[in-house]
Chain A
């Protein structure tokens, strides 16, 4: 029989998280600090709108781009929060999560051989999506001493004649790093100079704990060369609803909508109705959740520092990224032993790129009670490792 598979697909490595997931699911009594989604339920008034839409029989396809009311609310939101103006008719597309927007955005922009700059550590899908779109991923290894921000120098050094797109994943999963306005201005200058495009994945924008989130699309000359990606999963605790969006120049959005139309048709209708309610009346919920995350964040950073672990202060998302290099083992070895000996699951930094070696992603999307138990075990484990070293 002929090989039924595509080489391009089989050559893609499975996600580094997968392997760990398999070990964890074997252990019944393990506790986890490994999730990448909020612990809150979707606020009730948002769920109620979803239910209400079903009761009213809103069970049909929407237009390919998504409900006009939702696109308008998104535009109002971006105007209100970040001062960016988009045309809801031509510059907004509702997608199945931010993930779909990443995929079709790259497919809309790339020709074979085009290079995509991917700062790492970062979310696991940029590299495979680039490959599937025929592009060539070029990794930029971010550095702990820069608090895992992307610098203009690092960007400049990675650009070649073939560079087409820069992916800008901030606030960042897994490091929790953010890019402030000055950082973005320096990046924007290089981007404009070399005439490349930006895919700005801002899914964690509402979870910023130092000032307000700034989008690179808000900087002069950048809106016309940026696809802004955001969604409802993280801000409104709506991961299972699978709803995101992309905003950007109409020439790009038109082509993205074409792919979306053929591949997906439209994002889930129920989720779209719920999302309108989220944008209209969800500000207080976002604040409540952000405050809670912020308190846990401070608690965790403090706890790691008290253990004497190197840990830069993350100002975004819901992850802490402590350094474990002092123990002389890889992230994978550390995470595996920690799981076996203390029954706590964390994700090795290497799941998000090779330069995540020596770090762990610790999620604080857990109640404080859970965090306290887990961190107690972490402390005990660290003590044990240090005693082993001193023998």
Chain B
């Protein structure tokens, strides 16, 4: 049941418990217990909302920043990663393979805010060797969801 439950709420965390139980063919209490257990076990880490900020009046700038760093003896990349992810404007930090070591996703109010972060905070860290900043110009798809208004059901109303 876990995988099926996760795949449903991954797409819609707002679904109500009664419906969820019916869809899984189990009792509501069982579903609630399972979800609580997965929260405790660190499997379910949050229930966020996917927002297309482009359709709001708020200005937001997102950047993907590749960061090359010197790993520290005995700690690898963890310490430097922690120093970066503790900044609240940092949305995600990943250790990656390839030319760079870390991928940092940053969200700011303006280009200037993001560039300031990169030049004054990120590059200022001793372990950081170099960075490459890519500003996101348009989001087409995020978290498996295509940001486009839905088209109508084009099927015939009744078919055998």
B4: chain A residues within 8 A (beta carbon): 291, 295
Interface residues on A, range: 20 to 34
Residues of A within 8 A of B19 (CB): 299, 368, 372
The residues of A that contact B57 with a CB separation of less than 8 Å are none
In whole angstroms, what is the CA distance A24 to B157 when docked? 7
- Tell me, yes or no, whether A347 is within 8 Å of chain B by CB: yes
| A21 B153 Cβ-Cβ under 8 A | no
**Which of B8, B19, B153, B157 gathers most chain A CB within 10 Å?**
B157
Q: Tell me whether B51 is interfacial, beta carbon within 8 Å.
A: no
Instruction: Using known A-B contacts A291-B4, A295-B8, A299-B19, determine if residue A35 contacts B25 with beta carbons closer than 8 Å.
Output: no
A24 to B160, Cβ gap below 8 A? no
Q: How many residues of B contact A (CB 8 A)?
A: 15
Find chain A residues with CB under 8 A from B7 CB.
291
> Are the CB atoms of A17 and B24 closer together than 8 Å?
no
Is there an interface contact between B157 and A35, defined as CB atoms closer than 8 Å?
yes
* Contact A36-B160, Cβ < 8 Å, known A295-B23, A296-B23, A302-B22: yes
Instruction: Please report the C-alpha to C-alpha distance between residue A32 and residue B155 in the assembled complex, in whole angstroms.
Output: 10
Chain B residues, CB < 8 A from A69: none
> Residue on A with the closest CB to B150?
A367
| Chain A residues, CB < 8 A from B24 | 295, 298
Nearest-Cβ distance from residue B155 to partner chain A, whole angstroms = 5
In the complex, residue of chain B having the shortest beta-carbon distance to the beta carbon of A16: B160
Question: Given A291-B4, A291-B7, A295-B8, is A37 in contact with B22 using a C-beta cutoff of 8 Å?
Answer: no
Residues of B within 8 A of A298 (CB): 22-25
Q: Are A35 and B155 in contact (CB under 8 A)?
A: yes
Assess whether B158 is interfacial by the CB under 8 Å rule. yes
Residues of B near A20 (CB, < 8 A) are 158
Q: Which of A21-57 contact B (CB under 8 A)?
A: 21, 24-25, 30, 32, 34-37, 39
Distance in angstroms from B39 CB to nearest chain A CB is: 22
Knowing A39-B153, A291-B4 touch, does A34 contact B158 (C-beta < 8 A)?
Answer: yes
Q: Mark B1-44, 1 if CB is under 8 A from A, else 0.
A: 00010011000000000010011110000000000000000000
Query: In the bound complex, do residue B158 and residue A35 qualify as a contact, i.e. CB atoms below 8 Å apart?
Result: yes
Residue A123 at the B interface, CB < 8 A? yes
Q: Are A32 and B160 in contact (CB under 8 A)?
A: no
Which of B22, B25, B160 lies in contact with A124, CB distance below 8 A?
A: B160
Contact B159 A37 (CB under 8 A): yes
What's the minimum C-beta distance from B47 to chain A, rounded to whole angstroms?
18
| A35 CA / B7 CA spacing, docked (Å) | 26
A288–chain B nearest beta-carbon distance, Å: 9
B126 at the A interface (CB under 8 A) = no
**Nearest-CB residue, chain B, relative to A351:** B160
- Cβ of B105 to closest chain A Cβ, rounded Å: 26
- Residue of B8, B22, B157 near A21 (CB, 8 A) is B157
| A125 CA / B159 CA spacing, docked (Å) | 12
Which residues of the other chain, B, contact A124 by a CB distance below 8 angstroms?
Answer: 160
Which residues does chain B contribute within 8 Å of A35, judged by CB atoms? 155-159
B residues near A34, Cβ cutoff 8 Å: 157-159
Does A17 contact B158, Cβ atoms closer than 8 Å?
A: yes
CB distance from A40 to the nearest CB of B (A): 11
Taken residue by residue from 121 to 160, chain B's Cβ proximity to chain A (1 for < 8 Å, 0 otherwise) reads as 0000000000000000000000000000000010111111
| CA of A298 to CA of B23, assembled, Å | 5
Report if A345 contacts B (CB, 8 A).
yes
A281 at the interface (CB under 8 A from B): no
A367 to B156, CA, bound (A): 16
Determine whether the beta carbon of A39 is less than 8 Å from that of B158: no
Chain A residues near B159 (CB-CB < 8 A): 17, 34-37
Which of B153, B157, B160 sits near A25, CB closer than 8 Å? B157
B22 neighbours in A (Cβ, 8 Å): 298-299, 302-303
The one of A24, A295, A299 that contacts B158, using a Cβ cutoff of 8 Å: A24
Asked if A15 lies at the interface with its beta carbon under 8 angstroms from chain B, I say yes
A sample of 5 more A-B contacts (CB under 8 A), given A32-B158, A124-B160, is A24-B157, A25-B157, A35-B157, A291-B7, A345-B157
Closest 8 CB pairs of A and B: A295-B23, A34-B158, A302-B22, A32-B157, A36-B159, A21-B158, A298-B25, A24-B157
Pairs A–B under 8 Å by Cβ, sample size 12: A17-B158, A17-B159, A21-B157, A35-B156, A35-B159, A36-B159, A39-B155, A291-B4, A299-B23, A302-B22, A345-B157, A368-B19
- Listed in ascending order, the chain A residues whose CB lies under 8 Å from chain B are 15, 17, 20-21, 24-25, 30, 32, 34-37, 39, 123-125, 173, 291, 295-296, 298-299, 302-303, 345, 347, 351, 368, 372
